[in-house]
Structure 1
Amino acid sequence: MKAVIFTLTLLLLVFRPVKAQELKSPNGEMRMQFSLKNNGTPTYQLFYKNKEVIKKSSLGLELKNDKKSLLNDFEITTSETSTFDQTWTPVWGEEKEIRNYYNELAVTLTQKETERIMRIRFRLFNEGLGFRYEFPAQKNLVYFVVKEERTQFAMTGDHTAFWIPGDYDTQEYDYTESRLSEIREKFDAAVTGNASQEQFSKTGVQTALMMKTDDGLYINLHEAALINYSCMHLNLDDKNMIFESWLTPDANGDKAYMQAPTKTPWRTIMVSDDARDILASKMTLNLNEPNKIEDTSWIKPVKYIGVWWEMITGKSSWAYTDELPSVQLGITDYSKVKPNETHAANNKKVKRYIDFAAEHGFDAVLVEGWNQGWEDWFGKSKDYVFDFVTPYPDFDVQEIHAYAKSKGVEMIMHHETSSSVRNYERHMDKAYQFMKDNGYNSVKSGYVGDILPRGEKHYSQWIINHYQYALEKAADYKIMVNAHEAVRPTGICRTYPNLIGNESARGTEYQAFGGSKPNHVTVLPFTRLIGGPMDYTPGIFEMDISKFSPNNNSYVNSTIANQLALYVTMYSPLQMAADLPEHYEKFMDAFQFIKDVALDWDKSIYLEAEPGKYITVARKEKGSSNWFIGNVNGYEARKSTIKFDFLEKGKKYIATIYADAKDAHYKTNSQAYTIKTKRITSKSKLSQLSVPGGGYAISIKQIK
């Protein structure tokens, strides 16, 4: 690892006040200006290749019950610039090494009337800007409550945006593509049902927000290192095209409780005239602190299957019985009730999944619905729902562990908290120890429903702190975490790489709830995945759900080739083959790609990208000469044209291409695909059809 740091501090004398500062990116293409208005309001402005990207925008925080907020009346006390250049090695990731290279400007401000000190730190990378508020230890600002953060992002025009409704509890929406000026009129149609949700404004949207200008610039707004603060949304002034930060409130309506010395998360703006640069950026990770887990030998990428899709689709159930109107753990006697015959987490079925995993080289098996309490939990606002250690009568934890171990397969624990975070915390040590005692090294946690304590939101400060507590506690037990319904990630997986997955977006399960848009997966890498990997649970081969779950008429809006490509385009060190084993057994030639595709990479190259339309990615398997390519396509059929010039010169390779058949279509002929092999070199090219909702996947192996 190398690091180069150069710092210059400018002490500003009272008789020579300086109101403007400028910072350039290392390559000189990005330029940021900081200045104070005449009333002492901090502002910034951002340019890319001399084009204005962010117009002059105000900065500051409004405080609660305070006669003067941190919004104006500032003067610059000191200004410090520095350059940082470091290369670091992630535990897992899209790249073997990541360069962290930026120029920094830290402006220390003093509020004249109160003598309070606020520092704004800017880091300008080649691909974008990150900035945050910092509050050093001081006598005039110790404890304070944020009523609202007033960070602005003033747009230069009525851009095209890919957005989901601003919501305190969920990101599980399909993306809407529209002009900024159209958000208000399209907002109600963009809101779909969820177990817990609350929108705050008809022009409120969530980050990461992806936009494109009429002159071809791609702009992404997000945040990084969300620690001990509430999640940021954006509220649009659609007359002036100005976004302002909108924090998630707690049960009292407050946005954040602060104690100096402290700091906020980073606010991030990525800009490029090439959409591929947005996908390839590691800026979000770089704005997080380095890895804090000293021994990471237990953190490993995982490819898994699970007893899950059959419950999501309604074929089977999580609950053991239909006889109980209510359950009280420790009192309810499950040995005296009749099983419902649809409970999926039983020894016989789980062993079938373990056998399938062992036969086809999968690392692990997830089982949901194994523990008592599922009959009486959803929507009840019930504090003590699960204890996370007591199995149903038809699931023998020790027997299943022994059977899986004999087959060389690990088990993945499932903890549905029902959003009773207090109950989860009271059981957490016992639950994690139970996992270790029974050979479970990773957990999928869930937060379905309204948060308890009542009045809190999934994205408020107190609950953000809970997610972090659960993650750090899991690290103490050497447990990897895959959190569902939690806050969307902001690069914290760099600091705590045991966070190997999140959901926090509309995943594959919604294909069983009526479907997702066929171009959904061409938007997610530009939005949700900016902050970290997603447990999207791809790999569905039977698109007509009514064929195996008669009461569900949903249809998966994708082709098989598209599903294969997702293992490459939707980066994650945690990948599930989500469909039923019997469905894979009908298409074993296509299933081979899921078996072969890697989880961890030395290099990733984004070959084609346009949000909402298509993405093509090539990745080199870590420690191997193998490459894998994925292409996902939106609504319109297109020819994808790529070069293989990333391959080692002078070497020969065999490419196996899994592609849409000519007559394939996500809605009418989703299972039509072709498989062909082709000898290629670094000089080869490919022109390949991608049908609506389709794509292709390629495995490339060197001929030795």
Structure 2
Amino acid sequence: MKILIGLIGLMMCCKIGIAQTNNYKLFSPNKNLELVCSPKKLNYTVSYKGKLVLADSKLGLVREDEDFSNGLVLTKVSKPATVTQNYTMVNAKKSSITYKAIETTFEFRTNKGSRMNLIFRMADDGVAFRYEFPEQNKSVKKIVSESTSFRFLAGTRAWLQPKADAQTGFEHTNPSYEAHYNMDIPVGTPSGSSNGWVYPALFKLDQVWMLLTEADLGRGYCGTSLAQNSVDNEYKVNFPQPAEGIPGAALLPESALPWKTPWRIMAIGDLKTISESTLGTDLAQPAKAMDQAFIQPGKAAWSWVLEKDAATIYSVQKKYVDYAAKMNWQYSLIDANWDKTIGYDSVAALAKYAKEKQVGLLLWYNSAGNWNTVKFTPRDKLLTHQSRIEEFSRLKEMGIKGIKVDFFAGDGQSMINYYRDILEDAADYQLLVNFHGATLPRGLQRTYPNLMTAEAVFGYEMISFDQNAANKAPSHAVMSAMVRNAFDPMDFTPMVLYKIPGIKRVTTPAFELATSVIFLSGIQHFAETPSGMSHVPDFVKTFLMELPKNWDDTRFIDGYPGQFDVVARKSGKKWYIAGINGENKRRDLALNLSFLANKKARLIFSEGTAEVNLKSEEVKVGPNGKLDLSMKGYDGFVLVFEE
């Protein structure tokens, strides 16, 4: 038997390769990435272009009934198989996406005979792996911990966001992934929160960048993070705190068998590779069956961010519907307490008026439950399937197009399933969904195409509250675009071109305008008010009226986390290129736009001392594809090319 297993292993080696006895080499299609798995030690390493970027890191997990992190026996290694997927999305970097990877499965048994598979996927832009329990068993199994870790080499730098402790913050609403990033810190630096660090988590070793996240939680897993402490530069997978679930329901992972865990994902390469990667949705569950005719991306007017609660009255919301119609935007969002300050009947009348203006209404909801003490209403409307279908049926009859659901409790398995329950019931009533006070989507928008966006960011509302947040906004915007927005849509609610009441905006109007292109969101809720927009030049209004609802392609042009970001996005025959400067110093750019050589563009930039000092001029890319531009401190620009 031992001889037979040895022969099988030798046959597999011909396809996979062996570094030494019992070590297996896995390669990406282009051979730049190499993962070495040691089944005996149950660990792995990762190299990029021959350079080790991840040292011995652990694999395995512990179930309540059995340990799958020690003493496992390897019984089989599959032949490497090519996995190819083609799919489309309306709230991503690209409308048509192709994923290609090489999959290899390691099959293990415990001493008791229980089975666990370890599945690896090697793509040109990164690696991924997950665990699978393939047996059939109706008894519920529970996972108490993961041994999974990521051990970085000394000298690696990190860009990380701390995860707030559960039940802290406004009305006990944390964690909601709303914090500034700790930028360019040494690996091993402990998080200031006992709840660790959120995904995506960015790392850099010399010129190699690595971005960690997870996808495909399914209904059988909680959301995870990276643990607070990382001794010897080893970051371990961290489970949610006890208060992050629905009381009385599952917190940590539990399921009958068969059972697959989420994909642990690491995009690896240069910044262009990281920025253009789609691994976060490539590895998500494919779209659920639903009629997608109602799923329309767009732009939205929104009163609350600058005008706050007092604006949630009929007359003001009618003004915002008119504003959206005038700007050729598809939606207008009515925020908290609308049921009390306007009422269902008047909202229905407003929805009818908005429809005549070709504008769809979106309504706010409190996720409610006893996990938060927020008094805003409507609350307690979405807690059960029965209450959801009653409410959603009423909304459909009123002509409402979507909902914004706020103040979730965290990453417990029951809370992750609550997101899915809302999305499934909303789809049945043709409602779009926006999650606020929420966790990272983790590719959920591919599985449920009616999920248009999610907050999970220290967004513009925070800037409107606090001058310190406004002062940090430029570098934070760059970080949010490059890391938080890397795989998942982000409802930052950007762009104030005129004034923020009570706050001195440090960014230029051109910076603000550029975020309308830089940030990705299925529905982009703009912070600027009708009054503020009245101060904006007509050519800027035209730009915002013509701004595409979604993108066909995205290319990274230049940038550095926290410092600056320049991105090109294509829609139809137009290319939009936008840049933002996160630092208070002049930045001279030599942009490589070879795909637009000899093309003319309309440049929008800031110049002069006027309150809204936006200017426009024509520029041309040279025959060599080069274009030189400069940004002042906290400045930005937008270029529009007609093909």
TM-score w.r.t. length of structure 1 = 0.80
Superposed counterparts of 1:427-506, under 5 Å = 427-447=387-407, 457-506=409-458
Correspondence 1:644 to 2:593: yes
- CA-CA distance at 1:311 after TM superposition: 4.1
Correspondence 1:43 to 2:43: yes
Structure 2 counterpart SS, 1:536: coil
Amino acid at match of 1:524: S
Q: CA 1:144/1:479 → structure 2, altered by over 3 Å: closer, same or farther? A: same
Q: Which residue of 2 aligns with 1:200?
A: 194
Q: Could you tell which deviates more after superposition, 576-585 or 141-150?
A: 141-150
- CA-CA distance at 1:461 after TM superposition: 0.8
Q: CA 1:461/1:250 → structure 2, altered by over 3 Å: closer, same or farther? A: farther
Correspondence 1:697 to 2:642: no
Q: CA 1:20/1:595 → structure 2, altered by over 3 Å: closer, same or farther? A: same
CA distance in 1, matches of 2:487, 2:368: 25
- Alpha carbons 1:275, 1:611 under 8 Å: kept: no
- CA-CA distance at 1:177 after TM superposition: 1.1
- CA-CA distance at 1:513 after TM superposition: 2.1
Provide Cα deviations, 1:357-400, integer angstroms capped at 9, x if missing partner: 22221111111135346xxxxxxxxxxxxxxxxx6469712321
Q: Which residue of 2 aligns with 1:519?
A: 475
- CA-CA distance at 1:556 after TM superposition: 3.5
Amino acid at match of 2:160: W
Correspondence 1:582 to 2:531: yes
Amino acid at match of 1:371: W
Q: Which residue of 2 aligns with 1:606?
A: 556
The match for 1:541 among 473, 493, 497 is 497
The match for 1:371 among 338, 351, 358 is 338
CA distance in 2, matches of 1:597, 1:116: 55
- CA-CA distance at 1:224 after TM superposition: 1.2
CA distance in 1, matches of 2:506, 2:528: 15
Q: Could you tell which deviates more after superposition, 594-603 or 624-633?
A: 594-603
Correspondence 1:528 to 2:525: no
- CA-CA distance at 1:420 after TM superposition: 5.2
Amino acid at match of 1:638: R
Q: Which residue of 1 aligns with 2:315?
A: 348
Gaps of 5+ in 2: 10-21, 167-174, 372-379
CA distance in 2, matches of 1:468, 1:604: 28
- Alpha carbons 2:298, 2:550 under 8 Å: kept: no
Q: CA 1:536/1:642 → structure 2, altered by over 3 Å: closer, same or farther? A: same
The match for 1:20 among 19, 23, 32 is 23
Q: CA 1:477/1:311 → structure 2, altered by over 3 Å: closer, same or farther? A: same
- Alpha carbons 2:369, 2:383 under 8 Å: kept: no
Q: Which residue of 2 aligns with 1:147?
A: 144
CA distance in 2, matches of 1:289, 1:29: 27
CA distance in 1, matches of 2:637, 2:582: 12
Q: Which residue of 1 aligns with 2:616?
A: 675
- Alpha carbons 1:357, 1:363 under 8 Å: kept: yes
CA distance in 2, matches of 1:508, 1:526: 17
- Alpha carbons 2:312, 2:335 under 8 Å: kept: yes
The match for 1:659 among 593, 605, 623 is 605
Provide Cα deviations, 1:6-37, integer angstroms capped at 9, x if missing partner: xxxxx993466853222100001001111123
CA distance in 1, matches of 2:47, 2:352: 60
Q: CA 1:357/1:526 → structure 2, altered by over 3 Å: closer, same or farther? A: closer
Provide Cα deviations, 1:135-178, integer angstroms capped at 9, x if missing partner: 11246x94322211110101112422111113352210011114
- CA-CA distance at 1:544 after TM superposition: 4.3
TM-score w.r.t. length of structure 2 = 0.87
- Alpha carbons 1:305, 1:366 under 8 Å: kept: yes
Q: CA 1:362/1:119 → structure 2, altered by over 3 Å: closer, same or farther? A: same
- CA-CA distance at 1:526 after TM superposition: 3.0
CA distance in 2, matches of 1:631, 1:240: 37
CA distance in 2, matches of 1:238, 1:461: 24
- CA-CA distance at 1:531 after TM superposition: 3.3
- Alpha carbons 2:566, 2:577 under 8 Å: kept: yes
Aligned sequence identity (%): 25
- CA-CA distance at 1:236 after TM superposition: 5.5
Superposed counterparts of 1:76-87, under 5 Å = 76-80=74-78, 81-87=80-86
Q: CA 1:301/1:176 → structure 2, altered by over 3 Å: closer, same or farther? A: same
- CA-CA distance at 1:180 after TM superposition: 3.0
- CA-CA distance at 1:226 after TM superposition: 2.2
Provide Cα deviations, 1:312-331, integer angstroms capped at 9, x if missing partner: 4xxxx2xxxxxxxxxxxxxx
CA distance in 2, matches of 1:238, 1:354: 50
Q: CA 1:142/1:23 → structure 2, altered by over 3 Å: closer, same or farther? A: farther
Correspondence 1:134 to 2:132: yes
CA distance in 1, matches of 2:293, 2:277: 26
Q: Which residue of 2 aligns with 1:330?
A: none
CA distance in 1, matches of 2:344, 2:450: 31
- Alpha carbons 1:519, 1:613 under 8 Å: kept: yes
Amino acid at match of 1:244: K
Q: CA 1:592/1:682 → structure 2, altered by over 3 Å: closer, same or farther? A: farther
The match for 2:266 among 264, 269, 272 is 269
- How large is the Cα RMSD of the aligned pairs? 2.5
CA distance in 1, matches of 2:295, 2:185: 42
Correspondence 1:119 to 2:117: yes
- CA-CA distance at 1:680 after TM superposition: 5.3
Q: Which residue of 1 aligns with 2:573?
A: 625
CA distance in 1, matches of 2:68, 2:393: 46
Q: CA 1:683/1:51 → structure 2, altered by over 3 Å: closer, same or farther? A: closer
Q: CA 1:146/1:684 → structure 2, altered by over 3 Å: closer, same or farther? A: closer
CA distance in 2, matches of 1:369, 1:574: 18
Provide Cα deviations, 1:461-518, integer angstroms capped at 9, x if missing partner: 1101100111111111121111111210111211211111010111111101212522
Q: Which residue of 1 aligns with 2:87?
A: 88
Q: CA 1:393/1:36 → structure 2, altered by over 3 Å: closer, same or farther? A: closer
Structure 2 counterpart SS, 1:77: strand
- Alpha carbons 2:90, 2:551 under 8 Å: kept: no
The match for 1:177 among 155, 178, 183 is 183
Structure 1 stretches (4+) deviating beyond 6 angstroms? none
CA distance in 1, matches of 2:3, 2:210: 34
CA distance in 2, matches of 1:583, 1:269: 42
CA distance in 2, matches of 1:502, 1:611: 21
Q: CA 1:84/1:410 → structure 2, altered by over 3 Å: closer, same or farther? A: same
Correspondence 1:245 to 2:237: yes
Q: Which residue of 1 aligns with 2:58?
A: 58
Correspondence 1:289 to 2:285: yes
Q: CA 1:138/1:354 → structure 2, altered by over 3 Å: closer, same or farther? A: closer
- Alpha carbons 1:446, 1:483 under 8 Å: kept: yes
- CA-CA distance at 1:578 after TM superposition: 1.4
CA distance in 1, matches of 2:518, 2:139: 46
Structure 2 counterpart SS, 1:579: coil
CA distance in 2, matches of 1:111, 1:435: 52
Q: Of Structure 1 and Structure 2, which has the larger fraction of its residues in helix?
A: 2
Q: CA 1:127/1:15 → structure 2, altered by over 3 Å: closer, same or farther? A: closer
Q: Which residue of 2 aligns with 1:549?
A: none
Gaps of 5+ in 1: 1-10, 189-198, 318-342, 374-390, 452-456, 547-553
The match for 1:161 among 151, 158, 176 is 158
- Alpha carbons 1:76, 1:107 under 8 Å: kept: yes
Structure 1 counterpart SS, 2:302: strand
